[in-house]
Amino acid sequence: MMTLIGVKLKEYGVDDIVIGLINSMFFAGAILSSITSSKIIPNLGHIRSFGAFAALLVLAFLSHSIYFNEILWGIMRFVSGFAFYSLIIIIESWINEKSSKEDRGKILAIYSIIFYLSIAIGQALLNIDESLRDSLFEIGSISVLASLIFVAMTRVKEPTLTPNDRYSFPKLITIAPLALMGSLVGGFLVGGFFSMMPIYITNISDSKEMLSVFMSLAIIGGLLTQWPVGYFSDRFGRRNTIFLVGAYIAIISTLFIILPQNTTTLYILSMLLGGGIFLIYPLSLARANDVIDEYTNVIEISRSLLFAYGIGSFLSPIIIGISSSFIGPLSIFGFFAIASAFIALYALTKEKIPPEELSVYVNVPSTYGHEIADLDPRQDEEWVEEHRAVSKDEEEASLDKK
């Protein structure tokens, strides 16, 4: 739906600045959800809350299809963001309730895979028969309504939703400055990708097939790189990995600007770009887990980082929309290059964590709510010890003994 909204706004001749503002409202709704949902959901119960937020989401989708007005669509994007992220929080808290310490890591991995694949399939829907393309708002609504069937019929015990901790950015700046800046940049990249990348493709091509393939390939690229890069970061540290990934994104973004804009090149670069931008936030979260100690509230830190991620996502479409209107569609890659180069260089200014103090990289979905902090298996020190990679020095020492 995020991709479709951008396409429709472009078809209606809306300026890129206004498109950026409308799309940013989705993330504004998400931020409000992260603050208020933990107070709303316990009062209504999870099943009733899921039904209420699903109804809000369907109303927002159908309102888009009934009447076009920039202000109305901005409001509906806000409602969509609030409802969607509230649904995600309900789902995550339910998964957390049914997970044990032993299987949290596996369940979170499956959850992430499902998320990436479902988002990729969603992009592919843009390529359906032209006679059905105007019905995509209705198809989205049907998908949400279908989810209600499974929730309404469940007999699983409803989970207890933990209240939000305070967001303490001063504490984060002191404890984990690289994690905080990485979360802001990660939100900027991912938010800008989903909200404004469709505008770039629409500006250079009228092909919906090209748009759907481009977006899907980027998401698949993000899924494929999670585990190998995570393993690398466990062995060689988050600071070094953030530097390399940031530099990598900056190079790929620059290639978008200097290489010819043909279909094959764009598809390849899309997958390569997706293989980088979805890594910054999980690496930042892992960095935070590397530096926090036993006296620090892990869940508070995680939710604060997620809040910073949401702020980055909110600002990204506004900044990119303004620059696209005045500079041109390629400016999105200019900002991607600047943001990623900044986090790469910033990483080098921070201290390196000794290998024996590193935590474990955990893949998280590209879209998630604050309950993901409760599901994170790194809260359990025994799990971290079991999954911690053997450092290079330890491995060499072991070989010497043999």
In order of their start, the domains of the chain are 2-389 (1.20.1250.20)
Cβ contact 23:77 at 8 Å: yes
Positions in the chain short of pLDDT 70: 101-102, 130-131, 133, 156-172, 293-300, 366-384, 386, 388, 390-402
Q: First CA to last CA across the chain, in angstroms?
A: 57
Cα separation, 387 vs 19, in Å, equals 44
Residue the block writes with tokens 């059905």: 132
Q: What are phi and psi of 262, to 5 degrees?
A: -95, 165
Secondary structure of 23-67 as H, E, C letters: HHHHHHHHHHHHHHHHHHHHHHCHHHHHHHHHHHHHHHHHHHHHC
Query: Among 344, 385, 28, 375, which residue's Cα sits nearest to residue 191?
Result: 28
> pLDDT value at position 317?
93
> pLDDT value at position 72?
93
The total of other beta-carbon atoms located within 10 Å of residue 128's CB is 14
Name the pTM for this structure.
Answer: 0.86
Full DSSP string of 142-183: HHHHHHHHHHHT--SPPPPPPPPPP--HHHHHHH-HHHHHHH
> pLDDT value at position 363?
74
> pLDDT value at position 399?
47
The total of other beta-carbon atoms located within 10 Å of residue 361's CB is 27
C-alpha distances (whole Å) from 339 to each of 40, 151, 183, 186, 206 are: 36, 40, 12, 9, 29
- List of residues 6+ apart from 389 with CB closer than 8 A: 231, 234, 235, 358, 360
> pLDDT value at position 54?
93
Query: Among 122, 77, 117, 115, which residue's Cα sits nearest to residue 317?
Result: 77
Cα separation, 43 vs 37, in Å, equals 10
> pLDDT value at position 345?
95
> pLDDT value at position 269?
95
Tokens linked to 324 = 């696209």
> pLDDT value at position 26?
92
Cα separation, 76 vs 197, in Å, equals 20
> pLDDT value at position 368?
62
Q: What is the dihedral of CA 142, 147, 152, 154, to 10 degrees?
A: 160
